[in-house]
A and B are shown apart, each in its own frame.
Chain A
Amino acid sequence: MSSGPVVLERPDLIQRLGQLTLAFVQDTGQLALFTCELLVWLLTHRWRRSVLVSALYQIGYESIPVVITTGGFIGMVMAVQSYDQLRYMHLETNLGAVINISLVKELGPVLAATMLAGRVGCAMAAELGTMKITEQIDALRVLGANPMHYLVVPRFVASVVMVPILTVLADAAGVLGGWFFATRVCGVDGHHYWTHTEEFINWFDLIGGIVKAVFFGGAISIVACQRGFSCKAGAEGVGEAATQAFVYGFVAILVIDFFLGILLNALYPLTGLMTTTFN
């Protein structure tokens, strides 16, 4: 006969699954509450201009070199990977269409946002996390400033404004990089390269990519700031917050990309004017 209660040393699979589900629901709930609070402060209070200018500079201006470099190389890598396959089918003059539509619709926005999730998101989470553990966020409250208003709103606005602009820069750099490699290295005829590009890309593709970037910018800043505000004590806590800001931000970018892709595809037939090509 059993002499006492059974003590489980390790949680079994069902318990572990339950713990993970609870943690996911808790994290999602916290993120939703954080977003609601942010939106209330965003819409009901005047933005602090000095902090916003500083955030625009840090998120936007300081990211330009890395975004252009990445964009340029993505365009060239696309040319390297696509050229041989298209040449095999005697379709190398279509290289422009393949590279540029991929860049403008998907690769430009997603890769620029991924890189910004790393550069900007991690920096935001680490900065706010450090402010939390050194009581600077408490000091803001004591001095009559709301941390959501003072720290999060400017970062959110700056991300929503700058990520689309940086995406356009990444797209442009990618288009130039692809054109350079295709026409100067692979010897594709420049006139046909651009003609095919114009036939396949329309304004809807370009604007769709920018709309995605707006949402990516919002997601990067919300996730990063929320992780920073939830930072645990010590250097390990700051490191964990920065890592989570990137990982959760990256997942958010892919999830948003998936759903916006479905939405934009559904809207595509309804926008007759927008589907006019550039030529």
Chain B
Amino acid sequence: MSPEAEAPPILEFHQVHRQFGHQQVLRDVSFTIRRGESVAIIGESGCGKSVTLKLMIGLLSPSTGSVLLDGEPIAGRSEQQLTRERLRFGYVFQQAALFDSLSVADNVAFGLRQNTRLPESEIAVIVQERLREVGLPGSVATKKPAELSGGMRKRVGLARALALAPEIMLYDEPTTGLDPIMSDVINELILQVRARRPITSIVVTHDMVTVGRTVDRVIMLYPISRLGADEPQIIFDGTPAEAFSAPDPRVYQFVHGQAGERLLEMATR
């Protein structure tokens, strides 16, 4: 049994439902993530992966059910408490979400200036260390996000997320839109981040190379629109190796990138 299997739960979803207007995205979703685990949440576009990530950090609240952080519900906390808890997370956004009006250095330093009283000289050292850690030269520090390539923006986003030394890293589609080499660089960085510090990682992705390389456990969500009324939305929870040889055709087709009857189904819908 791995040490993570005995570790205390850090994040728990209990019968979480979430809907936007009339559209239900999550239905009766329950799972537990233990401290130190590295978990991928996979599934087709629109199955609720990114919503799951935002529920974890309190950017969204469940319509019903509860999300627990260290055994305490996230919903119902004051804005101040939520802000304090959010600083335990590092969040790498799908499109990096860098602040356009700030330089790379100011982006990476943002959380430090906002939440600590560190002197500027110390902040500058941390910024340079984080940029170096994600493989970016110090010369990019003065550039604006608009001057960077997609891969560089993702790495600056990772450096910004790491600046406050988080306990939990959330990656939202970290390799989407990148070429295979840059995707591999990001996968390697995810592994290095985990190797250098005791951290819990949750990666939302549909890139199976990322799943195979970076995580120990896979949770697969399925779109509600394709499920029967009583079918669970989590259709797989196991190791990456088990996912690749799963008997469930829905899991098998997804991890192997097979459309199956889907094209015919779309055409006749």
Measuring CB to CB, which residues of chain A are less than 8 angstroms from any residue of chain B?
54, 130-131, 134-136, 138-146
Contact = CB atoms under 8 A, between A and B. Distances in A.
B59 A141 contact: yes
Nearest to A48: B114
Interface string B30-62: 000000000000000000000000100101000
A142 B79 contact: no
Contact of A136 (B79, B83, B89, B97): B97
Given A134-B97, A138-B59, A139-B97, A144 B91 contact: no
A134 B95 CA distance: 7
Contact of A144 (B59, B97, B99, B114): B114
B93 A135 contact: yes
B189 interface: no
A143 B93 contact: no
Nearest to B83: A144
A245 B114 CA distance: 30
Contact of B111 (A54, A134, A135, A143): A143
Given A135-B95, A139-B93, A145 B57 contact: no
Contacts of B98: 136, 139
Interface in B76-108: 79, 83, 86-87, 89, 91, 93-95, 97-101
B123 to A, nearest CB: 14
Interface string B121-160: 0000000000000000000000000000000000000001
A28 B160 CA distance: 38
Given A136-B100, A138-B54, A138-B59, A146 B93 contact: no
Contacts of A140: 99
A145 B114 contact: yes
B110 interface: yes
Given A144-B111, A146-B79, A138 B97 contact: yes
Contacts of A134: 95, 97
Contacts of B110: 143, 145
Most buried by A among B91, B94, B98, B115: B91
Given A139-B91, A139-B93, 7 more contacts: A135-B95, A136-B97, A140-B99, A141-B86, A142-B89, A143-B164, A144-B114
Nearest to A136: B97
Contact of B160 (A54, A143, A146): A143
**Which 5 interchain pairs have the tightest Cβ spacing?**
A135-B97, A139-B97, A143-B111, A142-B91, A144-B115
Nearest to B111: A143
Contacts of B94: 135
17 contacts: A131-B100, A134-B97, A135-B94, A135-B97, A136-B100, A138-B54, A138-B93, A139-B91, A139-B93, A142-B59, A142-B86, A143-B110, A143-B114, A143-B160, A144-B114, A146-B79, A146-B83
Contacts of B59: 138, 141-142
A232 B94 CA distance: 18
Contacts of A136: 97-100
Nearest to B94: A135
B97 to A, nearest CB: 4
B87 A144 contact: yes
Nearest to B89: A142
B20 to A, nearest CB: 12
Contacts of B87: 144
Nearest to B57: A142
Most buried by B among A130, A142, A146: A142
A136 B95 CA distance: 10
Nearest to A150: B114
A223 B231 CA distance: 45
A157 B29 CA distance: 44
A267 to B, nearest CB: 40
B193 to A, nearest CB: 17
Nearest to B160: A143
Nearest to A133: B95
Nearest to A138: B59
A57 B114 CA distance: 22
B94 to A, nearest CB: 7
A135 B89 CA distance: 16
A131 B89 CA distance: 21
B99 A139 contact: yes
Most buried by B among A134, A141, A143, A146: A143
A140 B97 CA distance: 9
A54 B102 CA distance: 12
A138 B89 CA distance: 13
A10 B217 CA distance: 51
